[in-house]
Amino acid sequence: MNTAAMFSSKKTDWETPQDFFVRLDEEFHFTLDPAASDENHKCHRYYTKERDGLKRDWQGETVFCNPPYGREIGHWVKKGHMEAHDEKTTVVMLLPARTDTKWFHDHIYGKAEIRFIKGRLKFGNGKGSAPFPSMVVIWR
């Protein structure tokens, strides 16, 4: 395994640690993973890049979303915020705790519950810790 690439800041797909997901799932009972692949989806219902979860309707779902952490991250955060305006929709997002970003201030700060994670997650069930802090954001 190329460990340097796995923990590079250029990497955008950080697979949610399974035990971390299970604990959240016990609390929320997720029904949709809109940012996934056939290999890494966390829910039975999921969207892949090809089906584009950003363009789909999330209404009425309890969404778990760990989006790609590249330039498009702001689109996912905005989408989560907008979809959760519907009272039957809950959106939980696992995100890098980048509190200086426009997306954090426009869509999260003062608008969502934020759970800052103590310590660093081991994404992809890997051995090393992520080079950034994480947070769970909940719009409901």
Ligand X SMILES: C[S@@+](CC[C@H](N)C(=O)[O-])C[C@H]1O[C@@H](n2cnc3c(N)ncnc32)[C@H](O)[C@@H]1O
Q: How far is the CB of 21 from ligand X (least distance, A)?
A: 7
Residue 91's DSSP bridge partners are 63, 139
- Which member of 11, 15, 78, 98 binds ligand X (CB under 6 A)? 15
- Which member of 53, 62, 77, 134 binds ligand X (CB under 6 A)? 53
Q: Which amino acid is it at 13? A: D
Q: How far is the CB of 110 from ligand X (least distance, A)?
A: 26
β-bridge pairing 90-96 and 134-139: antiparallel
**Whole-angstrom Cα distance, residue 53 to residue 79?**
10
Positive or negative torsion for Cα 22, 18, 137, 67: negative
> Looking at beta carbons only, is 37 or 101 nearer to ligand X?
37
Which residues lie closer than 8 Å to 114 by C-beta, 6 or more apart?
108, 135, 136, 137, 138
- Taking contact as CB under 6 A, which single stretch among the options 3-11, 65-73, 95-103, 108-116 is the one that binds ligand X? 65-73
- Which member of 49, 115, 120, 140 binds ligand X (CB under 6 A)? 49
Cα 101 versus chain centre, distance: 16
- Which member of 7, 48, 101, 122 binds ligand X (CB under 6 A)? 48
Does 14 contact ligand X by CB under 6 A? yes
> What tokens appear for 82 in the block?
């907008």
> Under rule CB under 6 A, which residues in 67-106 are in contact with ligand X?
67-68
**Whole-angstrom Cα distance, residue 81 to residue 139?**
6
Does 47 contact ligand X by CB under 6 A? yes
Binding site for ligand X (CB under 6 A): 13-16, 33-37, 40-42, 47-49, 52-54, 66-68
